[in-house]
Amino acid sequence: MKMRVIYYSGRKKMSDLAEYLSKNSDEYKPDTIPPDYSLDKEKLLVLGMSKLTKLPDEVRRFCVNLKPATVKNIALYTDRPEAEAKEFIKLLRDGGANVLDTVLYVKPEFLSFKKASDEEKKAADEWFESILPQLK
């Protein structure tokens, strides 16, 4: 499956999960926003976000310009509250993106250097398997 994993976060746990989730794609390593390589007809974009509001202009422009021609489906994982995630998903959908309903909520950490636990990686695997039937 053609997919990419990208993230916007300074937290080790979020980048660790990006690395872990990218094992489902042998085409690319995870990347930050904005990515080094442009998106091109990706079936799935796994998007990890630690900040969902008051985004830097470059990140906000990248997110609102995610269109079905470049990305068919977007799956979100975040360490932010559900209310912020819903607002962010609305922003993406207003631009025409197909954002999957199932969001992976990661426990936020105050220590930015803490890695994802085995339990969190298992939850990420279960989440990933649960979103596959939702792909268009």
So what's the pLDDT on residue 50?
Answer: 93
Q: Which domains does the chain have, with CATH numbers?
A: 3-134 (3.40.50.360)
pLDDT by residue (tens digit) across 76-134?
999 999 999 999 999 999 989 999 999 999 998 776 788 999 999 999 999 999 999 99
25 has pLDDT over 80: no
The 3-state secondary structure of the chain reads CCEEEEEECCCHHHHHHHHHHHHHCCCCCCEECCCCCCCCCEEEEEEEECCCCCCCHHHHHHHHCCCCCCEEEEEEEECCCHHHHHHHHHHHHHCCCCECCCCEECCCCCCCCCCCCHHHHHHHHHHHHHHHHHCC
Q: pLDDT for 82-95, tens place per residue?
A: 999 999 999 999 98
pLDDT in tens, 32-68: 998 888 888 899 999 999 999 889 999 999 998 999 9
pTM: 0.92
